[in-house]
Amino acid sequence: MSIEIKLSTSFNLQTDGQTEKINQEGKEKLKGDRVCKKNKESAERSRSSIKKGTKKMKQQVDKRRREVEE
């Protein structure tokens, strides 16, 4: 039974690929989180625009309705 020692350097910290794989998975998760956050922000802006448009349309309809009733 022998023990194999793998030394890493400051230039190449990954000795067996495991650390590299874990780092890559972490980067992918962070990237996914950023995309998700951007999508949520975009959806919120869309909702806000739709609300404003709906409110404006309702105001115009109400304005016309009053003119007809008088």
Residues of the chain with pLDDT under 50: none
Which pLDDT belongs to residue 55? Answer: 92
Q: Is 16 left (phi over 0), alpha (psi -120 to 50) or beta?
A: alpha
Tokens of 22: 């874990």
| Per-residue pLDDT at 43 | 92
Give the pLDDT confidence score for residue 17 in this predicted structure: 73
Site of tokens 């802006």? 45
pTM: 0.49
- What pLDDT shows up at residue 14? 53
